[in-house]
Structure 1
Amino acid sequence: MRAGYGARAMIYATIGVLAIIAAFTSVEASGTEDSLQTLRAQPYGVVALWMIGIGLLGYMVWRVIAGIADVEDHGTDAKGIVARGGQVATGLIHAGIGVSVLSLAMGNGGSGGDSTQDWTAKLMSMPMGRYIVAVGALVLLGAGIYYCYKGWSGKYKEHLAASTFTTRFDPAIKGGLIVYGILLSLVALSIGIAALNADPSQAGGLGKALHTLRTQPYGPVLLGIAGVGLLGFALYNVVEAVFRIVPKVEGPDVETLAKAATG
């Protein structure tokens, strides 16, 4: 679990830094795949990719076990089953990303294409493919809205241990979750438009969402804010790696950030 959150932190910190650089230069903002390519070209970049890939596979193990064994006490009612099913699903998704990162570390990646467009095109070539893509876009939009809600409402505090660090950096964590939710929603909208028009080229990942921000009025400012927000989201993942509480391991009496805020 902690290795997985650490791996996610490394990914989004890289994307955030490159987005901030792009906000002040003519360099194009990078999505996940391009950012990992940039990371690979740095000293010890291949080592970092191996760490990220293995960490994401660890995250997959955690999410699958958490969903099956219900280590976070979601329960067995309808809401709990949906939450646990979501844990298993996100674990498998991160396994796919982890395998892709490890492939890049071994020098087998780097096609330079947009993986979101590639997957959208593959799905659209299947029977009922446009509808499958549309459903995926709706699910992703729901995830984006949930991240915004999670940040705005402070729901994330229920699973974090109270500490001086988590309290001090709580505003940055909140902002990071909201910005990430907005960017995820932009990705979902691009995929939804691609499904509506049956045009996979209109779909895009995080890189396209950042590019969309840059083309708006005050685009460099918006892109800079997005980059800072992604650093906040990376910080959130660092905090999750260090301070996340697992109820069936730590017990029910650990003081969470939510309890500290109300107490």
Structure 2
Amino acid sequence: MTTLSSLSSHIPSTQPQWVKRFAKFGLAAKGVVYCLVGILAFMAAFEIGGRSERNLNKQGIFRFILEQPFGQILLALVAIGLVCYALWRLTQAFLDNENKGTDAKGIGRRVGYAFSGLVYGFLAYGSFRMVLGSQASQGGDTRQTLVRELLQKPFGQWLVGLIGLSIIGVGLYQIYRALSGKYLKNVQTSSIKTELKEMIIRSGKLGYIARGVVWGIIGYLFIKAAMAANASEAGGSSHAFAFLEKSSYGSYLLGAVAVGLFCYGVFMFVRARYEVINTSN
């Protein structure tokens, strides 16, 4: 049976500097995206500059970058960074340079790396299309399309519900990483200046909690779509922000999550600078 390990034996060994540079550039690009998500979500929460939470998905962020001076160049750099991030995650999955192994836990982590690599690869593809002038990404929410397709299958509602539970699980894991301190596992905190260390550690914790909250809401929306057999109930980050905005004290809740996502973006820059990138396999 084909396994991740057998696949990795057919892939050439990576050069350490290649892996490190791609990882660091990719983390920095991810930091840019999340900082912008946080800023724009905060503006939407308090109606600053006429911003709305409706377009606060990744494609909306790419469109925002494109509208800035030298937007095509800036978006191209972000897209290249996302490609680097995707390749780094795929390298972790197939070359196992994190030494996760081939037991159930290790395979689970490596499948997670592969999924992350594919997601960011698609994001990079979409951003490159926007750089080249394509606006095809405006054609609807891909999650709703997925749910609509699944609901037409046998046991479709159950499948959508299981996906929702899985997404909530990812969100809870993000919060667990924050509260347990595991998000600092590979970060050389001893190299961070003492006067900045506490602030950076807190920003990372807040960032992972905020990201977990968003994942949890997205999962809840999937479950809601499954129960109602209505694909329009599902959605991504922009729908999660809209859900927060409509709740009691919605502006403050969305504002708090926005600050957390900005902190997550900042922590990606910290990871790019201080994370130990494993390159052995």
Q: TM-score range by the shorter chain?
A: 0.7 to 0.9
**What's the counterpart of residue 94 of structure 1?**
120
Identity of aligned residues (%): 29
Comparing 166-175 with 176-185, which one deviates more in the overlay? 166-175
- Name the residue aligned to 2:3: none
Give the aligned partner of residue 10 of structure 1: 32
Residue of structure 2 in register with 1:257 after alignment? none
- Map of 1:65 onto structure 2: 91
The 5 Å alignment of 1:5-154 reads 5-25=27-47, 27-29=51-53, 30-109=56-135, 110-111=137-138, 113-126=140-153, 128-154=155-181
SS of the equivalent of 1:159 reads coil
Cα drift, residue 89 of structure 1:
1.9
Provide Cα deviations, 1:147-189, integer angstroms capped at 9, x if missing partner. Answer: 1111111101111112225544110111011011001110111
Change (3 A) 1:33 1:115: farther
RMSD, matched Cα = 1.9
Q: What pairs with 1:219-234 in structure 2 (closer than 5 Å)?
A: 219-234=250-265
Query: Residues 37 and 124 (structure 1 numbering): CA distance in 2 closer, same or farther, change over 3 Å?
Result: farther
Q: Which runs of 5+ in 1 are unaligned?
A: 250-263
Q: Structure 1 residues 234 and 198, CA, compared in 2 at 3 Å: closer, same or farther?
A: same
TM-superposed deviation, 1:246: 2.3
Structure 1 residue 46, shift from structure 2 partner: 2.0
- Answer whether contact 1:166 1:239 (CA < 8 A) is retained: no
Give the alignment's TM-score, normalised by structure 1: 0.87
> How many residues end up aligned between the 2 structures?
249
Q: After the TM superposition, which segments of 4 or more aligned residues of structure 1 sit over 6 Å from their partners?
A: none
Question: 1:77, CA displacement in angstroms?
Answer: 2.0
Aligned residues of 1:177 and 1:236 also touching (Cα < 8 A): no
Indicate the residue corresponding to 1:184 in structure 2.
215
Amino acid at match of 2:25: A
**Amino acid across the alignment from 1:175:** L
SS in 2 for 1:169: helix
* Structure 2 unaligned spans of 5+: 1-22
Contact 1:213/1:223 (CA < 8 Å) preserved in 2?
A: yes
AA paired with 1:68?
A: F
